[in-house]
Structure 1
């Protein structure tokens, strides 16, 4: 009895896929391609959720558009390119590393190197300042001794 309760709770708790039965293609090969491609496309409403898992209306429209392109005979790359041309590169969950995105890909490591260089220069300069100790002259030592005696 308890085992059946836990099993039913586990089945209820699993997330349901957002793909509606009326969206599924009759050709299993095309449907598998559509599912694989839709996992790499971002839902523009939900942010950082792929269109395969999203219940938003726009995600449904994107799933249908992707399936239309595949049924029309587009290759995987052509179907993705069509959607990117229509909705922008933000629709890709894994953006390309060329063009203006190259600056974003390079900025992180570049900032890390720049920060490391600044930290290295700071520590080196600080250590150099400590090493520049000047010896007191005989007159200064005599004056210091008088001050300390008071």
Structure 2
């Protein structure tokens, strides 16, 4: 019974830990309005940590992510727009910090690659289907002798 209770307590602590850490994040960055707090949270979720790569700066504990959060906090507190905040961090850390890069000449291949891969896939399937139909039609035409031989083989096997 004591083992089950300690496991349940441990599980509860593990479930509550992320919630406590998230709540603590709001206390570290106090804002004078709820709107600025929400903007800060949205911006930190939209920006990628350069060190962690697949984590946003809101979830990252890396020192560089902390620096980025501090910069976002300062700019939001001082009244900067979302675009100004993102542009400032992109200028400092590069386009990589955006989870959704803008469409321009540098990111053309990034946006076009999925479309090209799907088109190539469809064309490959179409070519395979067309070739198999053509090959199937030519292979199925038997000469009368071959047809009679096949019928004899089938009759003998019954």
Compute the TM-score of the two structures, normalised by the length of structure 2.
0.70
- RMSD between aligned residues: 3.2
How many aligned positions are there? 138
Shift of 1:80: 1.0
- Provide the residue aligned with 1:10 in structure 2: 12
Shift of 1:19: 3.3
- Provide the residue aligned with 1:98 in structure 2: 104
Cα deviation digits, residues 67-105 of structure 1 (max 9, x gap)? 111223211111111111111111012222333323222
In structure 2, C-alpha distance between the alignment counterparts of 1:105 and 1:31, rounded to whole Å: 32
1:19·1:53 contact (CA, 8 Å) conserved in 2? Answer: no
- Provide the residue aligned with 2:151 in structure 1: none
2:31·2:77 contact (CA, 8 Å) conserved in 1? Answer: no
In structure 2, C-alpha distance between the alignment counterparts of 1:9 and 1:28, rounded to whole Å: 35
- Provide the residue aligned with 1:119 in structure 2: 125
Cα deviation digits, residues 9-48 of structure 1 (max 9, x gap)? 4244332238384x41342432332112101011111121
Shift of 1:123: 2.5
In structure 1, C-alpha distance between the alignment counterparts of 2:75 and 2:84, rounded to whole Å: 8
When residues 74 and 128 of structure 1 are mapped into structure 2, their CA distance, relative to the original with a 3 A threshold, is same
When residues 8 and 28 of structure 1 are mapped into structure 2, their CA distance, relative to the original with a 3 A threshold, is farther
Matches within 5 A, 1:1-150: 6=8, 9-13=11-15, 14-15=17-18, 16-17=21-22, 19=25, 21=27, 23-29=28-34, 30-132=36-138
SS of equivalent residue, structure 2 residue 46: coil
Unaligned runs of 5+ in 2: 146-158
Shift of 1:125: 2.1
Unaligned runs of 5+ in 1: 142-150
Shift of 1:54: 1.1
